[in-house]
Amino acid sequence: MKHVYLDHAATTPLDKRVLGAMKPYFSKKFGNAGSLHLFGQEAREAVEKARESIAKAINAKPEEIVFTSGGTESDNIALQGVMRANKGKGKGLVTSVFEHPAVLRTAEKLEKEGFEASYLPVTKQGFVELQEIKKFLKKETILASVMHANNEIGTIQPIEEIGKLCREKGILFHSDAVQTVGKERIDVEKMNIDLLSASAHKFYGPKGIGFLYAKQGTKIYPLMHGGGHENGLRSGTENVPGIVGMEKALEIAVKEMDEENEKLKKLRNKLIDGCLEIKNSWLNGVREPRLAANAALGFDFVEGESMILMLSDKGIAASTGSACSTKSLEPSHVLRAIGLPHVKCHGSLRFTLGRATTEKDIDYVLETLPGIVKRLREISPLGGK
Amino acid sequence: MKHVYLDHAATTPLDKRVLGAMKPYFSKKFGNAGSLHLFGQEAREAVEKARESIAKAINAKPEEIVFTSGGTESDNIALQGVMRANKGKGKGLVTSVFEHPAVLRTAEKLEKEGFEASYLPVTKQGFVELQEIKKFLKKETILASVMHANNEIGTIQPIEEIGKLCREKGILFHSDAVQTVGKERIDVEKMNIDLLSASAHKFYGPKGIGFLYAKQGTKIYPLMHGGGHENGLRSGTENVPGIVGMEKALEIAVKEMDEENEKLKKLRNKLIDGCLEIKNSWLNGVREPRLAANAALGFDFVEGESMILMLSDKGIAASTGSACSTKSLEPSHVLRAIGLPHVKCHGSLRFTLGRATTEKDIDYVLETLPGIVKRLREISPLGGK
Amino acid sequence: MYSKKVLETFRNPKNIGEIKNPDGVGKIGNEKCGDVMWVYIKVSKNKRSQEIIKDIKVKTFGCVAAISTSSVLATIVKGMTLKDALKIDKKQIAEELDGLPPAKMHCSVLSMDGLRKAVEDYRNKKAKAD
Amino acid sequence: MYSKKVLETFRNPKNIGEIKNPDGVGKIGNEKCGDVMWVYIKVSKNKRSQEIIKDIKVKTFGCVAAISTSSVLATIVKGMTLKDALKIDKKQIAEELDGLPPAKMHCSVLSMDGLRKAVEDYRNKKAKAD
Ligand SMILES: Cc1ncc(COP(=O)(O)O)c(C=O)c1O
Ligand SMILES: Cc1ncc(COP(=O)(O)O)c(C=O)c1O
């Protein structure tokens, strides 16, 4: 059976070149980067070289990069760590209603601790509004956290402007850039970002590794205590192959970004246009500014999970929006946030394209999907066909 | 130059067979285990198979295994998570003075939150005493945490008996088994363990992955919030290759354990005996019960770091005790705990053998070390030679 | 997370669709929750003059579990007396599918409720006709 | 964590050892802290009749940084006038080694203190002899 993977926002395959870069660090240069001896020094060197290169890729300083186990941990350190360390200043956290659960659940946890979180609304088009943000940022606010691009609908937020507003008010600004690192240009200086989260497996790097950028001087408490690694911010033996792999993956992604995005956008638009030929369908969020790889669609009268499984039976991997392990019954909070009525939220289908995606893949989806929607509409009591 | 790696307690090379098991999950079966489609199901299956196999290896149930990023995280979830979730019961945490920093620093953090930690002393031989523990366990005690084997001196603690004492008093019992999983038999039922930490890179598995065993029904709060993975205890996209690799590594380690330990003990004893022929030297901790691979020695009038680097120049990787990234000036807390005077703590040298260690390696160390000790003693003002 | 049986049933659902001129129809669920089922039944009598479900078809808008439970319920009760059919336990439906994820157990309840409503509708109509 | 220069110096330390019949000895540090240095000096006069360090040797018990700083200090001050030698800044020693880890900066202080003590010892002895 033909296999067409269109769920790159959930995770990506490890790039062969990345695995190649990692290989020496598995069984040969395998030392603990905390060890003094030659094996340790070799590992330490690799870690610091990777740190430098990653810092450069987002215009940060090496000492501003903290290696973590992934996007979730980065988000958690940023939110929990900054709020707790800056308690003296106030108790406000501003974030948006359509953040990833790694931010939203952490914000809720902080609320239970006595912090006050407020949640920015988003427009029907899928954006937070600067006018709104101005209203939300208070003297008491310690931190604002707005994602760079939304993982479900792919809309890219005006980060630079949000950062500017925060700077003006002396409020720290975190951006969950898990969906954009390696896919959109990031310049933490220019974009006025104080903290930024990334996860390697989203840009063809290994799973289990990510990083947090934290501007020099930002007060943060660690989540985990121990050997004092990463300047005390993240204890635990360094995942050297993971770090090396993340660096290589980011290097490749940045180098190939423009060309890749151009290709992806063409294929993505073809996919969107083709899907919209199915009656009673729509695109979630606007086309621009949107991640080049994201096609988030909706189909009336059918339910997303059923579409996913029928597509999967045809070898096509898609998603209803996010790949969380809590299969909650609630319809997507993102789609609700952009004002979609409940029933339409249930009919959502997200395709996210990637490096290996070909025009043939898109053709195959466009051949396959209409029949699936039709079949499900036949057995659906909705729509009154 | 000949390379002799004798720092296996810091980290181990990835076993080639383990890398072989991981390979399909990098770029082929690379799905997100939270995804519904075929790629996700493939990943989910691998994760759950690994969970079953790991559970079996320590006589636990699959749902009692939580995948983490390593030993430090496991220790932190166990201590922070259990203490906070069981606040209602009391505020006592009992641990020992010679735990790993991942436990000690976390205990200190909990003290700052208002919990009360008490620290069991250890004997000159390197053991916590049951008599002492009885005195420390109070009605208010929520959790006791005693490591299975000490990472610096390798002494193996009477875990089963400690667990029994805890059970009798209704106190939860955690054991940091980072140094023993895959090296000593572990049966959480028999050993009365409620929580247990492990880190794959210590038993020839990948870096960046570990697990926490938590007995069914144990109340724990998560450290990280997000998608609700691992039953809500540890959010974040599963590190599938890491999990698969850890499983394979544990399987191999358990299978080869007896034979391996027999070999290691012989080589280790030869190394100890040879080192002790150097004048003014000693073994830290007793020979039994001790990790088969651990030779923790001390040399008067010289300082550990200098020995490490001189050995490293000869291709030999050893350690002063632990591989932490905070190069603290304090002498090892473990050696202080077993009553060694300060100056003797500074002269410590830890060799930890591994699968690839040969008799030739030991011979090479025994040829090399005396000259290094001699040289350093020559430039040392101590000892009055 | 779904059992093989759930997936198989989803792939080849039975008794899915509509009955023209049904004797009873039960509409249950709501669009908001993402699960809607319409249960159509045809009733006749068996040799012992008991009312039985002669035919049943279900239309479902919903997740994989909703579609599978619809199919399984219909398959189980087809041919049963109304009395016996209404006694079906939601657990039996889940067991028939080798279990359902905890979050999806409500689907089996939903399908039972749909059947109950269809029988009610049939009885109401009959009462009116009588 | 150590610079290449530190490691090189550690590998080939200069002026390490003892001077028989030294003009001054400075013993500094303590075993507890893991750093002990004994600084031996031989003093003579230059053409302008200034007292200079004609020879210096250091014995060190301590970490890599301790041994390297001992060596560097000795190399720097050898041949200097006592006055100039005592003005050496600890930063200069660290710079000579391309930097020291923050936690190890005290080693350079220690070696300076050792030198100071040796000079003191020399002056005390001289005062007595005079
Ligand atoms: C926007 C966003 N933030 C955070 C995460 C969490 O990343 P990870 O699952 O790698 O921890 C994801 C992906 O799952 C994401 O898409
Ligand atoms: C006894 C013990 N506990 C915990 C740890 C921490 O494990 P990791 O560094 O893999 O997080 C280690 C090793 O560093 C250890 O030896």
pLDDT average, residue stretch D11-34: 91
Distance of alpha carbon D23 from alpha carbon D52, whole angstroms = 12
**Cα atoms in the 13 Å half-sphere on the side-chain side of A111:** 13
Minimal C-alpha gap between B136 and chain D (Å): 30
Q: What pLDDT digit, counting tens, does each position of A143-194 carry?
A: 999 999 999 999 999 999 999 999 999 999 999 999 999 999 999 999 999 9
Distance of alpha carbon B329 from alpha carbon D103, whole angstroms = 7
C21 in a structural domain: yes
Pocket of ligand 2 (CB under 6 A): A 236-237; B 70-72, 75, 100, 102, 147, 151, 176, 178-179, 199, 201
Distance of alpha carbon B16 from alpha carbon A315, whole angstroms = 32
* Residue (of B143, B148, B151, B82) closest to B118 by Cα position: B143
Within 10 angstroms of residue B217's Cβ, the number of other Cβ atoms is 7
Could you tell me the pTM of the whole model? 0.96
* Residue (of A77, A8, A105) closest to A333 by Cα position: A105
For residue B63, what are the CA distances in angstroms to A139, A245, B213?
A: 46, 31, 9
CB < 8 Å to A109, chain B:
225
Residue B1 banded pLDDT, cuts 50, 70, 90: confident
Amino acid (1-letter code) at residue A255: K
pLDDT at D105: 87
Which ligand lies nearest to the CA atom of residue B238 in the structure?
1
Given a cut of 50, whether residue B325 has pLDDT beyond it is no
pLDDT at C33: 78
Domains with residue ranges and CATH for chain A? 4-11+257-378 (3.90.1150.10), 16-252 (3.40.640.10)
Q: Can you list the alpha helix ranges (DSSP code H) found in B318-358?
A: 333-337, 342-345
Distance of alpha carbon A342 from alpha carbon A14, whole angstroms = 36
Distance of alpha carbon B53 from alpha carbon C109, whole angstroms = 35
Instruction: Supply B189's token pair.
Output: 């039922």
Amino acid (1-letter code) at residue B303: E
Amino acid (1-letter code) at residue D79: G
- Return the biggest CA–CA distance within chain A: 74
Closest-CA residue of chain B to D10: B306
pLDDT average, residue stretch C14-27: 95
Domain containing residue C113? 4-125
For chain B, list residues whose CB is within 8 angstroms of any CB belonging to chain D. 301-303, 305-306, 309, 313, 327-329, 331, 342-343, 345-346, 378-382
Given a cut of 70, whether residue B2 has pLDDT beyond it is yes
DSSP-derived secondary structure for B219-283? ----SS-SS-TGGGTS-S---HHHHHHHHHHHHHHHHHHHHHHHHHHHHHHHHHHHHHTSSSEEE
DSSP-derived secondary structure for B285-327? S-SSSB-TTEEEEEETTS-HHHHHHHHHHTTEE-BSS---SS-
State the burial class of residue D48 (Cβ atoms within 10 Å of its Cβ: 0-12, 13-18, 19+): exposed
Q: Position of tokens 């008491």?
A: A140
pLDDT at B343: 87
For residue B78, what are the CA distances in angstroms to A166, A286, B132, B176?
A: 37, 45, 23, 9
Tell whether C107 is within 8 A of chain A (Cβ): no
* Residue (of A74, A94, A99) closest to A149 by Cα position: A99
pLDDT average, residue stretch B366-372: 98
The beta strand positions in chain A, using DSSP E, are: 4-5, 65-68, 92-96, 116-120, 141-145, 172-176, 195-199, 210-214, 281-283, 294-299, 316-317, 348-352
Amino acid (1-letter code) at residue C6: V
Sign of CA dihedral B317, B323, B328, B330: negative
Of A32, A37, A108, the CB nearest to B308: A37
Q: Which residues, 6+ apart, have CB-to-CB distance to A360 below 8 Å?
A: none
DSSP-derived secondary structure for B195-219? EEEEEGGGGTS-TT-EEEEE-TT--
- Which residue CA neighbors atom 7 of ligand 1 most closely? A71
D31 in a structural domain: yes
Residue B329 banded pLDDT, cuts 50, 70, 90: low
Query: Which residues are C38's β-sheet partners?
Result: C27, C59
pLDDT at C107: 87
Of B27, B100, B237, the CB nearest to A19: B27
pLDDT averaged over 10-residue windows placed end to end, chain A, 385 residues: 96 98 98 95 97 98 98 98 96 98 98 98 98 96 98 98 98 98 98 98 98 98 96 97 98 98 98 98 97 97 94 96 56 93 92 98 98 96 74
The beta strand positions in D1-100, using DSSP E, are: 24-30, 35-45, 51-61
Are A205 and A226 a contacting pair, CB within 8 Å? no
Strand C51-61 to B316-317 pairing: unpaired
Within 10 angstroms of residue B71's Cβ, the number of other Cβ atoms is 31
Who has greater pLDDT, B217 or A343? B217
**Cα atoms in the 13 Å half-sphere on the side-chain side of B164:** 8
Strand (E) or helix (H) holding C28: strand C24-30
Amino acid (1-letter code) at residue D84: D
Instruction: Output the CA angle B47-B53-B57, nearest 5 degrees.
Output: 140
pLDDT at A1: 86
CATH of the domain at C22: 3.90.1010.10
Residue A86 DSSP class: T
Asked whether the beta carbons of residue D34 and residue B331 sit closer than 8 angstroms, the reply is yes
pLDDT average, residue stretch B131-140: 96
Q: In chain C, how many domains are there?
A: 1
Q: What pLDDT digit, counting tens, does each position of B169-184 carry?
A: 999 999 999 999 999 9
Q: Which of B269-283, B314-328, D91-105 has the lowest mean pLDDT?
A: B314-328
Q: Position of tokens 């030294």?
A: D22
The answer to whether B275 is a known catalytic residue is: no
For residue B333, what are the CA distances in angstroms to A90, B152, B295?
A: 38, 10, 18
Who has greater pLDDT, D35 or B209? B209
* Residue (of B184, B253, B237, B227) closest to B18 by Cα position: B253
pLDDT at A325: 41
State the burial class of residue C48 (Cβ atoms within 10 Å of its Cβ: 0-12, 13-18, 19+): exposed
Given a cut of 50, whether residue B259 has pLDDT beyond it is yes
pLDDT at B326: 44
Q: What pLDDT digit, counting tens, does each position of B34-82 carry?
A: 999 999 999 999 999 999 999 999 999 999 999 999 999 999 999 999 9
Write the ipTM: 0.95
Region of B251 please: left (phi>0), alpha (psi -120 to 50) or beta: alpha
Instruction: Supply B203's token pair.
Output: 């038993």
SS (H, E, C) A288-326: CCECCCEEEEEECCCCHHHHHHHHHHCCEECECCCCCCC
Who has greater pLDDT, C39 or D2? C39
Q: Position of tokens 């691992």?
A: B230
D30 in a structural domain: yes
Q: Position of tokens 């409940």?
A: A342
C64-77 vs A304-313: helix crossing angle, rounded to 10:
90
Minimal C-alpha gap between B327 and chain D (Å): 7
Distance of alpha carbon A163 from alpha carbon B55, whole angstroms = 47
Residue B8 banded pLDDT, cuts 50, 70, 90: very high
Asked whether the beta carbons of residue B327 and residue D64 sit closer than 8 angstroms, the reply is no
Distance of alpha carbon D97 from alpha carbon B251, whole angstroms = 48
Q: Which atom of ligand 2 is nearest to the CA of B207?
A: 10
Residue C70 CA, distance from chain mean position: 5
Strand (E) or helix (H) holding A227: none
Within 10 angstroms of residue A173's Cβ, the number of other Cβ atoms is 26
Within 10 angstroms of residue A359's Cβ, the number of other Cβ atoms is 12
**Cis ω for the linkage preceding A289 (within 30 of 0):** yes
Are B192 and B167 a contacting pair, CB within 8 Å? yes
Instruction: Output the CA angle C86-C89-C91, nearest 5 degrees.
Output: 155
Instruction: Supply A133's token pair.
Output: 């943000």
Are A27 and B16 a contacting pair, CB within 8 Å? yes
Q: For all residues of chain D together, what is the average pLDDT?
A: 93
C130 in a structural domain: no
pLDDT at B323: 53
Residue B327 banded pLDDT, cuts 50, 70, 90: low
Q: Which residues, 6+ apart, have CB-to-CB distance to A56 below 8 Å?
A: none
Strand (E) or helix (H) holding C122: helix C105-129
Closest-CA residue of chain B to D62: B303
* Among B residues 305-324, those touching chain A with beta carbons less than 8 Å apart: 305, 308-309, 311-312, 315-320, 322-324
Q: How many CB pairs under 8 A join B and D?
A: 59
Which ligand lies nearest to the CA atom of residue B210 in the structure?
2
Within 10 angstroms of residue B216's Cβ, the number of other Cβ atoms is 9
Q: Which of B153-157, B239-243, C63-67 has the lowest mean pLDDT?
A: C63-67
Residues of D annotated as part of the active site: 33, 107
For residue B268, what are the CA distances in angstroms to B262, B287, B353, D36?
A: 10, 10, 7, 32
Asked whether the beta carbons of residue C61 and residue A302 sit closer than 8 angstroms, the reply is yes
Residue A95 CA, distance from chain mean position: 15
